[in-house]
Structure 1
Amino acid sequence: MKNLTPWDADPVKGFKEFVVTDAFSKTAQRLRADGTLKAMSKESAKTYVFMFANAVAWITEQGKTLTTVTAGDLVRFVSRVDGGKPVLNSKIGYRYLRLLERCYQHLGITPNPAKQAILATDRAELPKDDPGRALSPEQLQRFFDALPAEPPRGKRVVPFSGWNHRRDRAMQVVIARAGLTVSEAIGLLLHEVGNQVALDGSIDLTITPEEKHETSYEHIAPLPREGVVELLPWMDERRRMVKEVAMKGDFVFPANLEGAKMTKKTVYKQIKATFARAGLDTSRAGGRTLRNTFAKAQLDAGARPDELKDVLGLALERSAADYKFTRIKDDPK
């Protein structure tokens, strides 16, 4: 058994040092066809560190340490619910347990509590995966037709009246057409919007972790012509607002003239309202549904999982391969 004191004192530091070694790769038998070890990508390492730190934070909240937590504790960790809904689905819960199993294997801890937890649940007791809801092409068009409308020009009483409606419209189109998460959309910065329009009318959005969720990965999200025709007029209006009404900040879609960042809750409500106007079921409607719709369209068009991984900014190719969908229903009312 290895010296466990450093891992109990600062487990995240110990894991960061471990995850980039061949020893970590060996625990997963990451071998090429010629028998050599596959290198761990920086993106994958970052995902594993995030997962490990999340697990350790929960373990600490329970008054335990990495080496005193039990299999029963770990079963509770992956089976948690919040507001009646599972915190982790079966795939993610299993990956957490498998990651911890590899750590305990490396540390020489027997019996391995994570392995015991996997055997105890056999994944049957973990919350089941729920297929992502996606829109059909006809439903997606109805969504676009129901986007926030611009107030009649005759009712404008101040310069740029109704600018927030045009902001919301452009943002929802960008989310749907480029497959962004809500966090990526509200954190989109001016310098991340490409200046060059391609021959097919598209532009590149360079998504970076800056101002986004901590698990966002830098990637290029092409915005097709249909999204560009909504975004560029808003960008032009935003530039004029900087000059004429002193709009501040670097967000493409600021919350107000002071340049504050929009909240995810606000965007979720706005997207849900568009679903309602389109006559679509709002019980599972949100930014994730638009991202799922984008992903499904990419796969239907022949995109490979590795290609979808790059476009969506996913850390692992298998995350793209795991995508599965059901149709979102029309509003039964």
Structure 2
Amino acid sequence: MRNLTPWDADPVKAFKEFVVTDAFAKTGRRLPADGIPRTVSAESAKTYNFMFGNLAAWIAEQGKTMSTVTQADLVRFVNRTDNRERVLKSKIASRYLRLLERCYEHLGAIPNPAKQAILAANIGDTTKDEAGRALSPDQLRRFFEAMPADPPRRRRVTPFDGWKRRRDRAMQVVIALAGLRVSEAIGLLLSELGHQVALDGSIELSITPQEKHDTSYEHVTRLPSEGINELNPWLCERAAMVDKLKLPGDFVFPANVEGKKMTKKTVYKQIRATFERAGLDTSRAGGRTLRNTFAKGQLESGASPVELKDVLGLALERSAADYKFTKIKEDPQQ
């Protein structure tokens, strides 16, 4: 086995030196058609460094090193939860462990704790996700028509009565039309909203990992004009809440007047309710279906896997290439 001392002393530095070498390329599973492994691009190296940095930070937090981390430790890493939701989806978890497996393979570690963790966590066969559920144009129209709204002829006791329904409406539009993850929507900050309107009427959303999960990557997506028309009234109401109610914080969609962050569970519940009102199958109702619908629209508009990767904030181009879609069913109860 190779000397692990540099990897224990400064694993991030050791990995940065390793990832750009032929040795790293040789540990990859996918070879070019000519069978000759090639070093990764600068963009891919940046992604791998980001992923390994997350791993190394977590390992250090556990008081472990590359020499002492165990299979059980790594299974705990991929099984972490936030509000009872797994932080890493199975496919992403598999890629984290596979990346670490390549490091130990290069180092000649026997047994390989990352490989053991892949088997123990039962995520070794997740290279292909099942087809994503996406809404047809008609179903998306029905979804928008069924979004939360003020009941007709309702009297407000105060100007802000029912503000959460208007917040939820704006959030669901942003998720659907800008392709955000739920974690990105609830962590969306005012500073990430672009102020310059493009010629097509869209604005940029500059998504950062701040206040999101560690699987969120910096990326820029666009909210089209129809989304801005829904978002702007909410932003005006939010500004009034800052003025009148002293609403603190920078979340675009705060959970309450204390400015706290919303939970994913709340968002999933509200999206499911919209699916039900629209008469759509709720077995796969959630932010992922809305994100899939956005991705499907991007591909149908001619976006390449590289372009789709960029607007979705995916780690690797092959993640975008994996997107395949099936239409969701109508609700059989309707």
TM range (shorter): 0.7 to 0.9
- String of CA shifts for 1:114-160, please: whole Å, max 9, x gaps: 67999x99x99836732221111111111101000113454111122
Number of corresponding residues: 321
Shift of 1:3: 2.2
Give unmatched runs, 5+ long, in structure 2.
none
Shift of 1:196: 1.6
Contact 1:11 1:66 in 2 (8 A): no
**TM-score for both structures, normalised by structure 2:** 0.80
Q: What secondary structure, in the 3-state scheme, does the structure 2 residue paired with 1:155 have?
A: coil
Aligned to 1:303: 303
Q: Tell me whether 1:46 sits opposite 2:45 in the alignment.
A: no
Q: Which whole-Å CA distance do the structure 1 matches of 2:229 and 2:40 have between them? A: 43
Matches within 5 A, 1:120-135: 126=125, 129-135=129-135
Give unmatched runs, 5+ long, in structure 1.
none
Contact 1:44 1:316 in 2 (8 A): no
Shift of 1:108: 2.3
Contact 1:79 1:126 in 2 (8 A): no
**TM-score for both structures, normalised by structure 1:** 0.80
The CA RMSD over aligned residues, in Å, is 3.9
Identity within the alignment, %: 61
More deviation, 255-264/37-46:
37-46
Q: Which whole-Å CA distance do the structure 1 matches of 2:31 and 2:40 have between them? A: 5
Q: Which whole-Å CA distance do the structure 2 matches of 1:79 and 1:310 have between them? A: 24
Q: Which whole-Å CA distance do the structure 1 matches of 2:78 and 2:220 have between them? A: 35
Q: What secondary structure, in the 3-state scheme, does the structure 1 residue paired with 2:133 have?
A: strand
Change (3 A) 1:189 1:92: closer
Change (3 A) 1:98 1:168: closer
Contact 2:25 2:37 in 1 (8 A): no
Change (3 A) 1:165 1:4: same
Aligned to 2:39: 37
Matches within 5 A, 1:1-333: 1-4=1-4, 7=7, 13=12, 16-17=15-16, 19-22=18-21, 23-28=23-28, 37-41=39-43, 42-50=46-54, 89=90, 95-96=95-96, 98-110=98-110, 126=125, 129-152=129-152, 154-333=154-333
Q: Which whole-Å CA distance do the structure 1 matches of 2:276 and 2:258 have between them? A: 30
Which one-letter code corresponds to 1:130 in the other structure?
Answer: E
Contact 1:253 1:262 in 2 (8 A): yes
Q: Which whole-Å CA distance do the structure 2 matches of 1:200 and 1:277 have between them? A: 31
- String of CA shifts for 1:254-310, please: whole Å, max 9, x gaps: 111121111111111111111111111112110111001110111122110000011
Q: Which whole-Å CA distance do the structure 2 matches of 1:183 and 1:239 have between them? A: 23
